Chains A and B, each alone.
Chain A
Amino acid sequence: MGYLTATVQALYSTLRQSLKKPTTVEYPKVVRPRAARLRGSFALLKDAAGDENCIGCKKCEKICPSDVIALTTVKKPSPVTGKSRGYASDFTLNLQGCIICELCVQVCPADAIVMVREQERPAFSREDLVLTMDRLYRNGENAERLAWATASILAETQDPERTCLKK
């Protein structure tokens, strides 16, 4: 008898659930809004004058836990200011092995590499997952897509000296 009443109760709870609005959405048609800090893909930034932020210091290459960043450095005069400084002549980030740990963003001394709020990272070929320098700079062009974190923001958040934080 207990079985029957419990079964009726189970039927009742599933019925109640079935009358609610479904939680899932039809993904390609409806895209859920995602968080501002969402880490998806990567971008390299240029400053307001159009000069590349990256100074080719290789800190990101060294800290990357899965060794997916490779860059070569050149020293050349800046096309904007004319002063000679370091640049990355070639920058590759292989998303196939990337674990999205945000450490490269964190250590960047020039706020050059940041994350993009890319939601659709899967690709049809492996080559599509290798971000070349061109693609990284192109990713950085749309400011709305960029994630919240840059090296300076992260550093400010973590700074132990900063005693009073705004909520």
Chain B
Amino acid sequence: MALSTEPGLSAAIGGGSGSVSKSRDGQAASMPTRAFVPDPYLDLARYQADADLLTLSFGPQHPSTHGVFRAVLYLDGEIVVKAVPYVGYLHRGVEKLCEKLSYSNVTPILDKNDYVSPMCNEQAANLAFEKLLGIEVPLRAKFLRTLLAEMQRVASHLLWLGTFAIDLGGALGGGTSVFMYCFRERELILDLFEELTGCRFHYNTHCIGGNRHDIPAGWPKLVHETLGTIDARLDDYLGMLEHPIFVDRTRGIGTLDAELALELGLAGPLARASGIDHDLRRDAPYHIYDQLDVRVACESGGDCWSRYKVRLDEMRESIRLARLLVDNVPAGPISASKPLTNVTQFKITTGQTYVAIESPRGELGTWVIAGGKGTSPLRMKIRPPSLHALAAVPYLFPRYTLSDAVAILGSLDPIMGEADR
């Protein structure tokens, strides 16, 4: 894993010949350019000669690796002295598959990437296609997309909170109680999605040019009430979760400083917990975020506690935004393009673009190169925030105990479907 920045690579990504420029060009200039190359890979031959190290293959089948993540841990007693992450157990070749599918068929496939927040996957890809096609999405669809993204963020963070509590509290303890409460609340949101789209998980509700499903009667009121309920219930049981034991287990654990976070390409809640005040919703607005006043949660600690705090604040902010949005959805069409009647309805012959949105896990980017026959992408690259989060594992695990390693991994919130693609 080469961590020094390679100027050639970034030039290749940033300076492509596409007609559409990278959406984050403005950001690149402000980032520090200091060469920061920490050494996570301890030379075990030089480690204390008398230490009896235990090599532990942590995952891929392990209760708390959030899917099929695997890390080989070298333990000195309980202390992790070295961690080597392995990804790819859930590799399905999604990017290659996208090269075979027509533009309209890519959306349902991408649902399976980040299976905790499929709405955001759909939006990232469709925004890129729309940018290449030069389609302006109607206002109602923009509102709907924003609303769905914010509701999805709440659902996703709820699932994170539940699994994080399980990581800390065990499958047979108080953690499970919080997990169940979080799932109960998440189910309410999934019910709303089901009302709208007919599916709980893999919605395929976005299409090129807008949305496929319009808001059913009575739905906005339901959203408003449900989110209010969730907001109230959050207060209800956070009193139970924020026990001194929880604080002891998270504060000062897995500290990630801002420079390392930048170096690893972290974005989203992880970067914000490390003090990088950066949120694409505010800094590079898409949908209708430019009209919204997004209050970005930011902490400076960089530890598990800060990540918890950031996500919790984001959850509340998303609830606020969603409730604001759902009351103000304007009337109008929900799609700018004609309804899909043919596989090859959308043709993009040239150009490339990179579009990033703020998924619940961070910057979810889609880089599309159009070409060939024009019916399907010539090359599609998805930038999954989870993969970048897992890159922090070798830096964060060493010097903490195995118990802390589990907590740190939980706080990174990796979704393996997205990391392995």
Residues of chain A whose beta carbon lies under 8 Å from any beta carbon of chain B: 2-3, 6-7, 9-10, 13-14, 16-17, 23, 34-39, 59, 62-63, 65, 99-103, 106-107, 109, 115, 147-149, 154-155, 157-165, 167
Pick from B105, B212, B341: contact of A65, CB under 8 Å: B105
- The answer to whether B237 touches A101 (Cβ under 8 A) is no
Q: Does B392 contact A (CB under 8 A)?
A: no
Q: How far is the CA of A106 from the CA of B345 in the complex (A)?
A: 13
B170 to chain A, nearest CB (A): 15
- The answer to whether A160 touches B105 (Cβ under 8 A) is no
Given contacts A35-B198, A103-B204, 18 further A-B contacts (CB under 8 A): A3-B245, A7-B243, A9-B239, A10-B174, A10-B243, A23-B187, A37-B196, A63-B104, A99-B109, A99-B111, A100-B202, A148-B198, A158-B210, A158-B335, A159-B335, A160-B333, A163-B333, A165-B214
In B134-177, which residues have CB < 8 Å from any A CB? 138, 140, 174, 177
- Residues on A with C-beta less than 8 A from B202 are 99-101
Q: How far is the CA of A160 from the CA of B140 in the complex (A)?
A: 11
Q: How far is the CA of A14 from the CA of B169 in the complex (A)?
A: 15
- The answer to whether B236 touches A13 (Cβ under 8 A) is yes
8 A-B contacts (beta carbon < 8 Å):
A34-B194, A38-B194, A59-B342, A65-B105, A100-B202, A101-B107, A158-B335, A165-B140
- The answer to whether A147 touches B198 (Cβ under 8 A) is yes
Q: Closest chain B residue to A61 by CB distance?
A: B343
- Residues on A with C-beta less than 8 A from B212 are 102, 106, 154, 157-158
- The answer to whether A160 touches B214 (Cβ under 8 A) is no
- The answer to whether A37 touches B237 (Cβ under 8 A) is no
- The answer to whether A160 touches B341 (Cβ under 8 A) is no
- The answer to whether B342 touches A107 (Cβ under 8 A) is yes
A146 to chain B, nearest CB (A): 12
- The answer to whether A13 touches B237 (Cβ under 8 A) is yes
- Residues on A with C-beta less than 8 A from B236 are 13, 16
- The answer to whether A165 touches B331 (Cβ under 8 A) is yes
- The answer to whether A106 touches B105 (Cβ under 8 A) is no
- Residues on B with C-beta less than 8 A from A6 are 242-244
- The answer to whether A37 touches B216 (Cβ under 8 A) is yes
- The answer to whether A65 touches B199 (Cβ under 8 A) is no
Q: How far is the CA of A148 from the CA of B196 in the complex (A)?
A: 11
- The answer to whether B333 touches A165 (Cβ under 8 A) is yes
Q: How far is the CA of A155 from the CA of B339 in the complex (A)?
A: 5
- The answer to whether B216 touches A10 (Cβ under 8 A) is no
- The answer to whether B191 touches A35 (Cβ under 8 A) is yes
Pick from B111, B198, B213, B240: contact of A9, CB under 8 Å: B240
- Residues on B with C-beta less than 8 A from A102 are 198, 204, 212
Q: Does B23 contact A (CB under 8 A)?
A: no
Q: Does B337 contact A (CB under 8 A)?
A: yes
Q: How far is the CA of A36 from the CA of B386 in the complex (A)?
A: 35
Q: Closest chain B residue to A147 by CB distance?
A: B198
Q: How far is the CA of A64 from the CA of B202 in the complex (A)?
A: 15
In B174-219, which residues have CB < 8 Å from any A CB? 174, 177, 181, 184, 187, 191, 194-199, 202, 204, 207, 209-217
Q: Does B336 contact A (CB under 8 A)?
A: yes
Q: Closest chain B residue to A63 by CB distance?
A: B343
- Sorted nearest first, the 3 A-B pairs with minimum C-beta distance are A101-B108, A37-B198, A155-B339
- The answer to whether B214 touches A157 (Cβ under 8 A) is yes
- Residues on B with C-beta less than 8 A from A63 are 102, 104-105, 340, 342-343
- The answer to whether A35 touches B195 (Cβ under 8 A) is yes
- The answer to whether B194 touches A37 (Cβ under 8 A) is yes
Q: Per-residue 0/1 for B229-262: is the Cβ within 8 Å of any A Cβ (1 yes, 0 no)? A: 0000000110110111100000000000000000
- Residues on A with C-beta less than 8 A from B242 are 6
Q: Closest chain A residue to B140 by CB distance?
A: A165
Q: Does B334 contact A (CB under 8 A)?
A: yes
B49 to chain A, nearest CB (A): 41
Q: How far is the CA of A34 from the CA of B198 in the complex (A)?
A: 9
- The answer to whether B198 touches A149 (Cβ under 8 A) is yes
Q: Closest chain B residue to A164 by CB distance?
A: B331
Task: Give the interface centre of A102, A148, A149 by most chain B CB atoms within 10 Å.
Answer: A102
